[in-house]
Amino acid sequence: MIGRIVKKITISKEQIAYQHKRYYNKTMIKNDEYFMKEAFKEAKKAYKKGEVPIGCVLVNNENKEILARAHNLREEKHDISAHAEIIALKKAGQKSLNWRSENTTLYVTVEPCVMCAGAILQSRISRIVFGIYEPATGGFGGKIDLTKEFKSNLTITSGILKDKIQELMKEFFEERRQ
């Protein structure tokens, strides 16, 4: 008679969580909402530093890899140009050794200001996705639409995670007024 050998296998909760995360990361659909959540994480970093909570990620359209991520650092760096978008464009340029960011999408929590919009158009980003419009300084429709002023093939999508981003901005400015 051939006996069966039964091996008891024990797996810790940590191992199960790790395997689930590994599987989830492989199968996750990386869409606009996914990348805007990554930009939102950056915005929360800015918030914790006392910066206006704006964050962004620059994504390669072909392989969906994040090329650069950044958040506002104007107060920390004492630099008017230390906006999340400018920092991300600089990081991507240094990484790729090329100032052009063709075939990329920039996900940013708040519509870029006119300064950042100009840099985005110059860098040849193909698409921008943002959560909320910025009526005071926005460069893609909030205040002025630079894509109409300059020849551009930039595709614009707005409204992704709108409510969550508005709530974070409201909370930040209410705290600042106290």
Known catalytic residues are 85
What's the start-to-end Cα distance of the chain, in Å? 82
Identify the CA nearest to 170 among candidates 143, 138, 131, 115. 131
Query: Is 167 strand, coil or helix?
Result: helix
The DSSP line for 1-51 is -PPPP-------HHHHHHHHHHHHHHH----HHHHHHHHHHHHHHHHHTTS
Q: From the CA atom positions of the chain, what is the Rg in Å? A: 21
Angle at the Cα of 29 (from 27 to 31), degrees rounded to 5? 160
Number of H helices and E strands in the chain, helices first, is 7, 5
Q: What is the token pair recorded at 98?
A: 């090329």
